[in-house]
Amino acid sequence: MPTYSLNTPLTDADIEKLRAGDMVLLNGIIYSGRDAAHKKLSDLLDQGKPLPFDLKGASIYYVGPSPAPPGRPIGSAGPTTSYRMDAYAPRLYSLGLKASIGKGKRADAVKQAMRDFKGVYFGATGGAGALLSKCITASKVIAFDELGPEAVREMTVKDFPLLVINDAFGGELYAKPNLEE
């Protein structure tokens, strides 16, 4: 399995070399955002207002971390299920988002947006939030503090372990269930 070490912000060239099943160690700044934050980002776009971070080359991590205990930058921080952000994701990819990070299946419209705008969808291991938090070296809330666990955070990651679930060429890693019909 090819393994790539990539730095954010991601470029079209980074995305073009990735195929479903590849492993990626991600480094740099990523942004947390899940259900309520996506609604707010969408509202800002509707109103023509600037977003709290630059979408160009950005990676959004679908995560709502547990509170940081004293002496740690963050609490447990594994991925949440991604399909709930499907309603918002195509628009974000069209505006420069390069990667979303979560777990679980994506809608066809999201996969199409990744093909159209050169994006990828990474999977992180669900239910390994303590382990994944070791790769997050810094975290600060940059928007929507009132959302608590759902606030948008700027996170610095080091060798954050990800699998390419959907690539920019229509490839998908998830196994199709063996259903007898």
Partner 1 sequence: MKEIKAADISAAVARMCMSANTKLPDDVRRKFEEGYKNETSEAGREIFRQLLENADLAFETKLPLCQDCGLAVFYVEMGEDVVVPGGINKAITEGMVTGYKDGFLRKSSCDPLTRKNTGDNTPAIIHIDLVPGDRLKISYMAKGGGSENMSRVTMLAPSQGWEGIKKFVVTRVAEAGPNPCPPIILGIGIGGTFEYAPKIAKKALLRKLDDVHPDPQIAAMEAELLAEVNKLGIGPMGLGGSYTCLAVKIAIAPCHIASLPLAVNVQCHSARHEEVEF
Q: Which residues are catalytic?
A: 38
Q: Closest approach of Cβ 127 to partner 1, in Å?
A: 4
Residue 126: HSE in the Cβ half-sphere, 13 Å Cα cutoff: 9
Q: Name the residue nearer to partner 1 (CB basis): 52 or 65.
A: 65
Q: What would you report as the CA-atom Rg of the chain, rounded to the nearest whole angstrom?
A: 15
Q: Token pair for residue 160? A: 């954050």
Determine contact, residues 18/168, Cβ cutoff 8 Å: yes
Binding site for partner 1 (CB under 8 A): 35-36, 39, 63-69, 72, 75-78, 80-81, 83, 103-105, 123, 125-131, 133-134, 147-150, 163, 173-175, 177-179
Q: CB-based contacts of 155: which residues, under 8 Å, 6+ apart?
A: 29, 30, 31, 32, 61, 74, 77, 136, 138, 139
Q: How far is the CB of 57 from partner 1 (least distance, A)?
A: 26
Nearest to partner 1 of 78, 90 (CB atom):
78
Name the minimum Å distance from CB 74 to partner 1: 9
Query: Which residue lies nearer to partner 1 by CB, 148 or 170?
Result: 148
